[in-house]
Chains A and B, each alone.
Chain A
Amino acid sequence: DSGVTQTPKHLITATGQRVTLRCSPRSGDLSVYWYQQSLDQGLQFLIHYYNGEERAKGNILERFSAQQFPDLHSELNLSSLELGDSALYFCASSPRDRAITEAFFGQGTRLTVV
């Protein structure tokens, strides 16, 4: 167990809908990183937050947004869902800013868009 908690574990929704994925970092970790794992694109970096502030963006679609709350948990919001958004979404956390070398990954949320 990495100590990073993601909920829900599985999510099935219809095209056009909106979902929220939640990530609770390890105790004491201030950084959260979101990654998407799809069959065609592999594992790709989406976005990084540190202590509530957005620090870096990767290949994140405009339909997707994220935030990190004062209690340090993070949410990834996916809207106007398309079939191609079906993927595993992972978050990772680390104690420091921009420190992916210290990060541990959660078990992921599997999103299926039908």
Chain B
Amino acid sequence: GENVEQHPSTLSVQEGDSAVIKCTYSDSASNYFPWYKQELGKGPQLIIDIRSNVGEKKDQRIAVTLNKTAKHFSLHITETQPEDSAVYFCAASKGDYKLSFGAGTTVTVRA
């Protein structure tokens, strides 16, 4: 089955700096790569996603890049703000019913 690895497990950044989280996946048939933000006591919230026919996608301060050949994808958050502090999960899917999640990255934005 699909195996998704996520790094780093924790990330502390100064407010205003950028944060980068990287994930690798194993199943070349995966074609959908979402990123979720989970705040304390809440469920995973989709923040951005990318499909395998696209190399990069941006939404305001958030961007995701995908390298299908190397089987890795990354989340970039620019101009970080305190409200960006949360746990972030990457996932990979064939777009059907199952998401294979990474282990998560705890991001702390220092004021």
Contacts and interface: CB of A to CB of B under 8 A. Distances in A.
Interface residues on A, range: 20 to 34
B97 A42 contact: no
A35 B93 CA distance: 14
Interface in A83-114: 90, 92, 98-101, 104-108
Identify whether the interface residues of A are mostly helix, strand, loop, or mixed. Answer: strand
Contacts of B91: 43
Interface string A33-68: 101000000111100100000011010000000000
A42 B46 CA distance: 17
Contacts, number: 58
Contacts of B36: 105
B97 A105 contact: no
Nearest to A49: B97
A4 B45 CA distance: 12
B93 A105 contact: no
B103 interface: yes
Which 3 pairs from chain A and chain B are nearest by CB? Answer: A105-B43, A43-B101, A48-B97
Given A42-B103, A48-B98, A98-B96, 6 more contacts: A43-B91, A43-B99, A101-B49, A101-B93, A101-B95, A108-B43
Interface of B: 32, 34, 36, 41-46, 49, 89, 91, 93, 95-104
